[in-house]
Chains A and B, each alone.
Chain A
Amino acid sequence: MRRFNNLGYFFLEGFRSIFTHGLMSFAAVCMIVCCLLIMGSFSLVAVNLDEMLGDFEKQNEFLAYIDESWSDEQARALQSQIEAIPNVSTVQFMSRAEAMEEFAAKQEETELFDSLPDTVLRDRYRIHVENLDQLKQTVAQVEAVDGVVKTSAAFEVAEGFTVVRNIASAVALILVGILLLVSLFIITNTIKLATFNRREEIAIMKMCGATNGFVRWPFVFEGMILGLTGSLAAYFIQWGVYVLIGRAINTSDTMQLITMLPFEQMATQVLGVFLGTGFVIGVGGSLMAIRKFLQV
């Protein structure tokens, strides 16, 4: 029962302390907001970049040509076999006539091809893959299917996408990691400053017989409240800024190629990451800051 009473006391003390040391608390929240905004903005750019690369990837396809001696029905029958190959996302059959039609449509002088019979080209499958990293293996598996005589895949383009995606992911991961560490360092120092102002209180508590846990808990709650307040504020600011930038891009004539994910689609994840990060840097910062003053 006493422990339960103490929990309420710790929370209240932590909450009151935020207002007693209002300026330092405000500084700590501002630091958390700034750090999360920088980290969040970068992460959102990385997510959108990844999404855009994903879109480009989806447009990447390869063709599998079917033996000329095979009938249309025989060729169509291969669809389920190809679909069963791992990493194949969609398979679209194209008959000789459709292939000729598509070919002719791309030419400027279509009348030149009017006299050609439909059987000049082969039946083919247009195949999309899920993961470009495994394109080579998938192509090899498709080539192994009886009836497939040839494939045409743009391996260089696929490898290019993979390299760009890997570099983008690595850079994002490193930068977010660095920003997290910098945030933790700044928050720890901000809270340390706030704690330094209260070293006398801590010394008095310790001299009265307070345990380290008793001294520590109000600071933990204070750090937690500051961290969560900062992360909520950062979340709403991030949302607003993202929407504004999205509108600017949509209305711009020069940035039509850029597509942005709607914030609502990522809102839960962003909120979770912000709250989690705010909690960790608030509580972690408090614990690290107070450690020194407990040795009385």
Chain B
Amino acid sequence: MIRFIDIYKSYDNGTKALKGISMRIDDGEFVFLVGPSGSGKSTIIKLITAEAAPTEGRLMVNGYNLNTIRPRQVPYMRRTMGVIFQDFRLIEKKSIYENLVFAMRAVGASPKEIRTRIAYVLELVGLSTKAERRPDELSGGEQQRVAIARALVNNPSVIIADEPTGNLDPQRSMEIMMLLEKINELGTTVLVVTHEKELVDRFAKRVVAIENGRIISDGVGGYYDNETF
């Protein structure tokens, strides 16, 4: 569960990125976080992943109080989530399999766990036959699937996808969204940050709209009406 209670975030340069955000994302939910550039979407992601700390307010993520979390606890908190980026962030010199091993090794998984889990997630994202390829040998959509597999490989309770379809064509974007929906159906909470209106409209999911550091709407499907997004 992710819970924002009256969160404010100001940066050192004086920018007020968030101005009193309150929201709750329950376990198993699928949520779109939408808004124009500079609205505060990225700051919300940074707060959830503990890359930044809130200036005011209370923030709970998967049972961790991020207001009081100690630096040494942050890695363990991050193990409860998987993060997907717009630019995939795969290690080019490693094969797909090695990219996934890398993520599992980082949390101290045993070789046996690694073999079993990677086979499962590669099957889930449809890349079982391409495990030995390197990222530059795959299409953009396939690379994003690898990124999803990497986010999933440590069995997180939440997947956070930051503009996951930003670099993909509509067809591949739809495939990625369907894959995320499938993951959600398997019980993982999914938070997708996007500004692609068409994509959001095609999925009848909860949409939290943010603008100028404030939530301006929060509801299912129809709340995403603002043309500025």
Contacts and interface: CB of A to CB of B under 8 A. Distances in A.
Interface of A: 2, 5-6, 9, 20, 200-201, 203-212, 214-215, 296
A95 to B, nearest CB: 82
Contact of A209 (B78, B89, B111): B78
B202 interface: no
A210 B107 contact: yes
10 contacts: A20-B93, A200-B89, A205-B102, A208-B103, A208-B106, A208-B107, A209-B79, A209-B107, A214-B106, A296-B51
B75 interface: yes
B107 A204 contact: no
Contacts of A205: 102-103, 106
A115 B117 CA distance: 110
Nearest to B77: A209
Contacts of A206: 75, 78
A6 B83 contact: no
A215 B108 CA distance: 11
A5 B109 CA distance: 10
B59 to A, nearest CB: 18
A24 to B, nearest CB: 13
Contacts of A200: 89, 91
Most buried by A among B89, B102, B106: B106
**5 A-B pairs with least C-beta separation:** A209-B79, A210-B106, A209-B78, A208-B106, A208-B103
A211 B78 CA distance: 10
A6 B108 CA distance: 7
Contact of B83 (A207, A210, A211, A212): A207
B68 interface: no
Interface string B138-157: 00000000000010001000
Interface in B40-79: 49, 51, 72, 75-79
A269 B102 CA distance: 41
Nearest to B71: A212
Contacts of A6: 108
A205 B102 CA distance: 8
Contacts of A204: 89, 91, 102-103
B91 A201 contact: yes
B36 to A, nearest CB: 25
A201 B98 CA distance: 12
B13 interface: no
Contacts of B93: 20
A205 B150 CA distance: 11
A209 to B, nearest CB: 4
B105 interface: yes
Contacts of A5: 110-111
Given A204-B89, A207-B83, A214 B51 contact: no
Interface in B78-121: 78-79, 83, 89, 91, 93, 102-103, 105-108, 110-111
A214 B89 contact: no
Contacts of B49: 207
Nearest to A2: B108
Nearest to B104: A208
Nearest to A207: B83
Contacts of B154: 208-209
A212 B74 CA distance: 10
B93 to A, nearest CB: 6
A159 B26 CA distance: 85
Contact of A9 (B78, B89, B91, B105): B105
A205 B111 CA distance: 17
A5 B113 CA distance: 14
A296 B83 CA distance: 14
Contacts of A209: 75-79, 106-107, 154
Nearest to B89: A204
A206 B78 CA distance: 8
A201 B89 CA distance: 9
Given A5-B111, A204-B103, A208-B78, 10 more contacts: A9-B105, A201-B102, A204-B89, A205-B102, A207-B49, A207-B83, A208-B102, A208-B154, A209-B76, A209-B78
